[in-house]
Structure 1
Amino acid sequence: MPRVTTVLRKSRKAIQDLDLLKVLHSEITHEHSSNPFQDKQSGSLGDFTLDWDSPKSQDVVLRKKSESGEEVAVSAMLGPEIYEGASSFPREALMKVCIKKPGLSSILQFDCGVSGKDNGSEFDIHSAHYLPSTSLDSSNYKGPSYSELDPNLQSELKRYLVSKGIEESFTNFLLLHLHRKEQGQYVNWLRKLEEMVARGDDD
């Protein structure tokens, strides 16, 4: 009787694995055939270079250094799904921009959100900080709430970032790259799961 029970259990597992393999294969095929990011314009990095883009991480880091020695670093990753308004992308990118002048240890830091629009992307500044030291001491006063700043100053700060290369072509590239990166990671995860089930591996 124990042997019959073992055979039945293995048969049930084989049927379940076969069903799961069919579902996994269908999902992988669907992801390839209905890629929503395939035909979108990729934009341009401009003067930035990709400094970090590990296939195992969700974030990317981009940097550029001008002839004057000024450094601009951008780190970004996808945020939660967007539930309000129309967007060509399902998720917003959370972008941090840090600007360092030559010979100074202080940093200007901007926390931004990048969202899709009909024919591209746009970014908004959520907060802006002056960090007097690269030690990033949390006790330092980082400035008032961004929403409390004068609207003219808010507009000028956004123009300032655009002048540093954070313009639409760059945010187009960033938003699309992050969505493609996430989709690629999802498909790779499905393939690994498919391989594991096909081998009959147990947890």
Structure 2
Amino acid sequence: MSVVRALRRAVAPVRRCAAPLLVEQPTVAAASGRTLSAAAVGGARPAPLWTLSRLASTAREVSRESDSGLLQVLKAELEHERKTYSQPKDVSRGPPKPWTLTDKPGHADIILRRSYGEEDIAVTCVYQPDAYGERHEDDEPQGSDEDDRDEESAACVNMTITVNKGADNPTLEISAASYGNEISIDHVYFWEDKNSRDALYDGPNFLQLDEELQAQFERYIKARGVNKDLVSYLFNLLEDKEQREYMRWLQKVEQFVRQ
């Protein structure tokens, strides 16, 4: 027997064994109602259509029930807040003159502006509930001096005061906080280039300045209207803004879930 014929005999059985895998198996799978991929993985059958339909229907029912429960609570909470809300008179009257207020719904910050000679003054306060909101029992040890503070003195308003003398001129920026009626300056920045601040020297530690220099900076901002009257208004305004933004949040979330 020639070598070629011997090779042909050896290969022929392989071809006959391999052929059913490529030709006959799809036919068997089709006859049994299964796809080729299902037969190839050991004959696993897909779930009947009625089972899949029932599962989808159950999932929709659970989703509707959960959405209905959430909508009910959101609506009840919103109605309660609207019934109990009333804007304080000093907030409705607006800021102390000559300040003007910018307060956009949905924005966390409020901005007060005024002119002082050739200067443009802006005071920006960001809504931060933890900064002036309720204090927790674990915040201070029992018997500490903090226990004697009332709610107003325990509250805090953080503010950024900017002083400009023209759009293209340098900016003096003062970071400050108010506890009760006291205003405390944290830092004084002087920005020569308002568009690039990363590599600029931002000023010394304020508490390390000479005490007289610190006092003069405090007089500087008070002369521009950042005083007790403004701080008192800010406390009431931010508390009112918290309430208004919470009601707006409830309304927007309810609308989203209802869609």
- Same-fold status (TM-score > 0.5): yes
- Tell me whether 1:13 sits opposite 2:63 in the alignment: yes
Report the more deviating stretch, 148-157 or 99-108.
99-108
Does the alignment pair 1:197 with 2:257?
Answer: yes
Aligned counterpart, 1:114 = 178
Instruction: Pick from 106, 112, 125 the counterpart of residue 56 of structure 1.
Output: 106
Gap regions ≥5 residues in structure 2: 1-50, 140-145
Give 2:79's aligned residue: 29
In structure 1, runs of 5+ residues without a counterpart are none
Q: Match for 1:72 among 121, 138, 155?
A: 121
The alpha-carbon distance between structure 1 residues 90 and 21, as it changes in their structure 2 partners (threshold 3 A), is: farther
Contact 1:81–1:91 (CA<8 Å) still a contact in 2?
A: no
- Aligned CA distance change for structure 1 residues 21 and 103 (closer, same or farther; 3 Å): closer
**d(CA) in 2 for partners of 1:164, 1:65:** 9
The RMSD of aligned alpha carbons is 3.1
Select the structure of larger CA radius of gyration.
2
SS at match of 2:226: coil
Q: Structure 1, residues 25-44: CA drift from partner, whole Å, max 9, x if none? A: 23223433454x84474373
Query: Are 1:129 and 2:180 counterparts?
Result: no
More strand by share: 1
TM-fit CA distance, 1:48: 1.8
What's 1:93 paired with? 157
Aligned in 2, Cα 1:195/1:33: closer, same or farther, shift over 3 Å?
A: same
* 2:7 counterpart residue number: none
- Counterparts of 2:205 and 2:68, CA distance in 1: 56
- SS at 1:65's partner residue? strand
Q: Residue 164 of structure 1 aligns with which residue?
A: 224
Is 1:112–1:123's contact at 8 Å kept on the other side of the alignment? yes
Counterpart contact for 2:106–2:248, Cα < 8 Å: no
Q: Deviations over 1:85-132 (max 9, x none)?
A: 5434996332111123479923322101234x3xxx443211112334
Task: State the distance in 1 between where 2:211 and 2:89 align.
Answer: 33
Once the two structures are TM-superposed, the CA of residue 165 in structure 1 deviates from its matched residue by 0.5
Higher relative CO (Cα under 8 Å, sequence separation at least 6) belongs to: 1
Q: Which moved more, 1:172-181 or 1:131-140?
A: 131-140
Amino acid at match of 2:95: S
Determine the C-alpha separation between the residues in 1 that align with 2:158 and 2:151.
15
Counterparts in 2 of 1:129 and 1:4: CA distance versus 1, 3 Å: closer
Alignment of 1:44 onto 2:95? yes
Larger deviation, residues 133-142 vs 149-158: 133-142
